[in-house]
A = this chain, B = another copy of it.
Amino acid sequence: MTAPPPTPEPAPESAPESAPKSAPKSAQPAARPRRTGGRVRNADAHTAILDATAELLEEVGYASLTMEGIATRADVAKSTIYRWWKSKGVLAMDAYAHVVAARMPEPDTGSLRGDLVGFVRELYRVGKYPLRVRTLQGLMAEAQLDASFAPLFQEWTGQRRAVVRAMFARAVARGELAATTDIDHAVDVIFGVFWYRLLLGHEHLKPSEAEVHVDRLLDGIRGAEGRG
């Protein structure tokens, strides 16, 4: 969904790509980048791959996921996979996004506390879905080991960070928070605790903890403000 090539949004590439061209040659083609012919992409193969990936992710876990296995399961040639996804990590991330079609919530309750609690509660709910937990663990691992995957993963996490940052920004705009607040650190605390528990697995994440965690974070921020 995020990466340009994988999930083919109908239009997504035409707009950005026509602008720069400005008026390369003259004409029309505005909409179409470059494509004079050729067989059209087989959507079946595409979804079969994503489905197979999701299934295998569930059955064997990320660590045992192999391109070969996906190809076999999807009844597709290995090269067809590589044509569209350059690595296991990218593919897994894409498949994960498909499964978790319900996107991150972006609550806007009017108060920072309300927003954060809503978000964190939802965040902690993944703990109830072993498949998702294992996939997230695997993606994080992949990002450590595959340098070419890291930026993609970072971009993905960045999007999630952005959601939370926006909450804080709104709070500042509302005057709830001082403009000097170190938002970055606050976001790090929220996601840091989440990932740390997810990766270590020493303690399961429970949505019920969300409220306390948020309160403690906000107390920390306000305490700082109070002291100046």
What is the interface of chain A, defined by CB distance below 8 A to chain B?
A: 62-63, 137-138, 140-147, 150, 154, 157-158, 182, 184-185, 188-189, 191-197, 199-203, 209, 212-213, 215-224, 227
Q: A62-B144, A182-B216, A189-B193 are in contact. List 7 more A-B contacts (CB 8 A).
A: A157-B200, A182-B212, A216-B220, A216-B221, A218-B220, A219-B222, A222-B223
State the number of copies, please. Answer: 4
* Inter-chain contact B191/A196, CB cutoff 8 Å: yes
Known: A189-B192, A219-B220. A144 touches B138 (CB 8 A): yes
A24 to chain B, nearest CB (A): 20
A90 to chain B, nearest CB (A): 16
Partner of A216, one of B137, B185, B201: B185
Query: Can you list 21 A-B pairs, Cβ within 8 angstroms, ordered by A?
Result: A62-B145, A63-B145, A138-B145, A140-B141, A140-B144, A141-B145, A144-B199, A154-B202, A182-B212, A185-B193, A188-B193, A189-B189, A191-B196, A192-B193, A192-B195, A199-B199, A216-B221, A219-B220, A219-B221, A219-B224, A223-B223
A72 to chain B, nearest CB (A): 15
A105 to chain B, nearest CB (A): 21
Which B residues lie within 8 Å of A147 (CB)?
Answer: 63
Q: Once bound together, how far apart are the Cα atoms of A222 and B182, in whole Å?
A: 19
Q: Once bound together, how far apart are the Cα atoms of A200 and B143, in whole Å?
A: 8
CB nearest to A225 among chain B residues: B219
Which B residues lie within 8 Å of A189 (CB)?
Answer: 189, 192-193
Q: Once bound together, how far apart are the Cα atoms of A227 and B141, in whole Å?
A: 40
Partner of A192, one of B142, B143, B146, B192: B192
